[in-house]
Amino acid sequence: MILTVTPNPSLDRTYEIPALTRGAVLRADADRVDPGGKGVNVSRAVAAAGHRTIAVLPLGGPEGALLERLLTGLGIEVAAVPVTGRTRVNIAAAEPDGTLTKLNAPGPELTPAESHALLSAVTARAGGATWTVCCGSLPRGLDDDWYAALVARARRTGARIALDTSGPALTRALPAGPDVVKPNTDELATAVRRHLATVGDAVLAAEDLRKAGARAVLATLGAAGQLLVDDTGTHWGTAPATPVRSDVGAGDASLAGFLSAGGRGPRALAAALAHGAAAVRLPGSAMPEPADLRPDEVTVTSEPPLERPLGAAR
């Protein structure tokens, strides 16, 4: 069983529009609503691959009730922590050339009792999970040490922990020893406080995160590829991701693929690449089904192209 925790989940509404013009009334050609939030997406992707998964998340208001119904309909077990605020709705505008503009709401502010209830809901279930996957931004009311506390508590249950967050919430959790962290280019650069121009820079940054406490680093570096630094070595891979439809959730799909394939070494990196590329070819924050994957198109090497420039974050 893979347990996910999403402290600030969302309903993701995507509008497909011909072009984004500021200040205009825009008419959408199509729209869709997906369950959202990074941990929720990991649950959706591992459920699509046939794994049992429980999603722990605070839920409030009619949006929270709809999110729960959508997840249950996908075969995901929901461990809901009721909160007084309303679950957020995040908006994406997708243009035909693959450009995507996203507007993420702050989400409800959690009370100290709700924050504590969320921690307890995770640690009560972490012992029975092969992985506990902690993902996304922290809502108001949860301080920057919240993930650090969660990782420390979950470790005591013997759980393996994957962490995908950014800024101080990430750096403060590193000393607690997460088994794998999954930054993108910007998040990795922010964590080491330096600009990353090449794959070689990303390798050095990943090694720094390991020195700070992470046992492994899976870095999703956009069109440039993905990097894994773990106890099996340093591995690099790419997968063609065209045509680009929407890169929302591609990092979450990558993490899900990585964990579904054992969460260690080049085989797991190849699965991450296949899932990430498939997610980019799908609309909105749709997560790939096994039929969407093209594992034959993935290339993985243990000799990363250190001089290769890094592109935009994904």
Ligand X SMILES: O=P(O)(O)OC[C@@]1(O)O[C@H](CO)[C@@H](O)[C@@H]1O
Indicate the DSSP class of residue 223.
G
Sequence-distant (6+) residues with CB within 8 A of 170 are 147, 163, 181, 183, 187, 191
Contact string (CB under 6 A) for ligand X, positions 59-98, x = contact? -------------------------------x--------
Instruction: Provide the minimum distance between the beta carbon of 17 and ligand X in the complex, in angstroms, as a whole number.
Output: 18
Residue 139 binds ligand X (CB under 6 A): no
Contact string (CB under 6 A) for ligand X, positions 21-60, x = contact? ---------------xxx--x-------------------
Distances (CA, A) of 237 to 78, 219, 262: 34, 11, 17
CB-wise, 57 or 268, nearer to ligand X?
A: 57
Q: Site for ligand X (CB under 6 A): how many residues? A: 16
CB-wise, 181 or 203, nearer to ligand X?
A: 181
Instruction: Provide the minimum distance between the beta carbon of 211 and ligand X in the complex, in angstroms, as a whole number.
Output: 25
Residue from 2, 4, 5, 10 touching ligand X (CB under 6 A): that is: 10
Residue from 192, 285, 287, 314 touching ligand X (CB under 6 A): that is: 285
Beta bridge partners of 90: 12
Instruction: Provide the minimum distance between the beta carbon of 175 and ligand X in the complex, in angstroms, as a whole number.
Output: 22
Helices and strands per DSSP (H, E), number in the chain: 9, 14
Asked, as a colleague might, if the bond just before 178 is cis with ω within 30 of 0, I would say: no
Residue from 5, 192, 221, 248 touching ligand X (CB under 6 A): that is: 248
Neighbours of 99 (CB within 10 A): 11
Contact string (CB under 6 A) for ligand X, positions 141-180, x = contact? ----------------------------------------
CA dihedral sign of residues 11, 15, 16, 19: negative
Q: Pick out residues in 98-137 that bind ligand X (CB under 6 A).
A: 104, 136-137
Query: For residue 81, what are its two tokens?
Result: 């922590």
User: Is the separation of the CB atoms in 118 and 7 below 8 Å?
Assistant: yes
Q: Return the closest-CA partner of residue 125 out of 52, 178, 176.
A: 52
CB-wise, 89 or 203, nearer to ligand X?
A: 89
Beta bridge partners of 102: 92
Cα–Cα dist 256/269, whole Å: 11
- Residues near ligand X (CB under 6 A) are 8, 10, 12, 36-38, 41, 90, 104, 136-137, 248-249, 251-252, 285
